[in-house]
C-alpha cells in the first residue's frame, strides 16, 4: 500500500454515500469468498483510495492475500511482462491473490494494447478472484479512456456480473478546511 488507512480514521459523517453498517458487511469478507467485485466511483478527494486501502488492510488481517496497484503501476508491470513474452506469468502471479485492488482507473488515457491487457486480466480473474477498482469516472465515461467500445463492453460485462458498484458523492476531503 502507498500508505496505511483504516476504517477507524474514516469519517462517515463527512462521506455519507457509504455507511458504517455497509462497511461492517464488507468486513465479513463474504464477497471475497464469493469472488465478487467492488467498484468505487467518485470525484477526487471523496475517499476512494482511503476506502480501498482500508479494505485491503483489513482483508490482510483476516488472512486474505491482497495486492494493491495504482492503475499506472499495473499498466507498467503488465507491459513489461508482455514485452518479455511472459504475460502468462503475470496472470499466474495475480491469480495467487484473493483480492486485487486497482486504484485510480481513469486518470490516464490508455493505448489499445493496454486496454487489451487489462481485458485479459479481468477475464482471468472473472469468477475466480475479487477485484476492487476505484475510478474518478462513471461507467458511462469508461470508453473514453479505454478508447475502444467493444473492449469496454467486454470488460464491464465481466466486472459487473458479480459486483457492488458505489458512487461516492460529496466534497473533497482534501479541501475540507480550505
Point out which residues bind ligand ADP (CB under 6 A).
5, 9-11, 14-15, 42, 44-50, 173-174
Question: At its nearest, how many Å lie between ligand ADP and the CB of residue 11?
Answer: 3
Binding characters for Mg ion, 46-85, by CB under 5 A (x = yes): --xx------------------------------------
Q: Strand 130-135's sheet: what is its strand order?
A: 66-70, 99-105, 130-135, 37-42, 163-168
Closer by beta carbon to ligand ADP, 30 or else 172: 172
- CA atoms of 47 and 88, how far apart (whole Å): 33
Q: Of 164, 166, 69, which Cα lies nearest the Cα of 118? A: 69
| Per-state percent for the chain, helix, strand, coil, to nearest 5 | 45, 15, 35
Question: At its nearest, how many Å lie between Mg ion and the CB of residue 104?
Answer: 5
Closer by beta carbon to ligand ADP, 64 or else 173: 173
Amino acid at each position: 500500500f502507498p500508505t496505511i488507512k483504516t476504517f477507524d480514521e474514516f469519517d462517515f459523517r463527512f462521506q455519507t454515500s457509504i455507511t458504517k453498517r455497509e462497511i461492517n458487511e464488507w468486513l465479513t469478507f463474504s464477497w471475497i469468498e464469493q469472488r465478487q467485485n467492488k467498484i468505487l466511483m467518485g470525484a477526487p478527494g471523496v475517499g476512494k483510495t482511503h476506502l480501498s486501502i482500508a479494505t485491503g488492510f483489513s482483508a490482510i488481517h483476516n488472512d486474505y492475500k491482497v495486492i494493491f496497484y495504482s492503475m499506472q503501476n499495473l499498466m507498467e508491470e503488465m507491459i513489461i511482462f508482455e514485452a518479455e513474452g511472459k504475460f502468462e506469468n503475470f496472470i499466474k502471479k495475480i491469480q495467487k491473490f484473493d483480492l486485487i485492488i486497482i486504484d485510480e482507473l481513469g486518470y490516464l488515457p490508455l493505448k489499445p494494447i493496454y486496454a487489451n491487457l487489462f481485458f485479459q486480466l479481468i477475464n482471468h480473474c472473472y469468477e475466480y478472484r475479487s477485484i476492487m477498482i476505484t475510478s474518478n469516472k462513471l461507467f458511462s465515461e469508461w470508453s473514453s479512456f479505454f478508447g475502444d467500445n467493444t473492449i469496454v463492453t467486454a470488460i464491464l460485462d465481466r466486472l459487473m456480473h458479480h459486483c457492488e458498484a458505489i458512487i461516492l458523492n460529496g466534497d473533497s476531503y482534501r479541501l475540507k478546511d480550505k
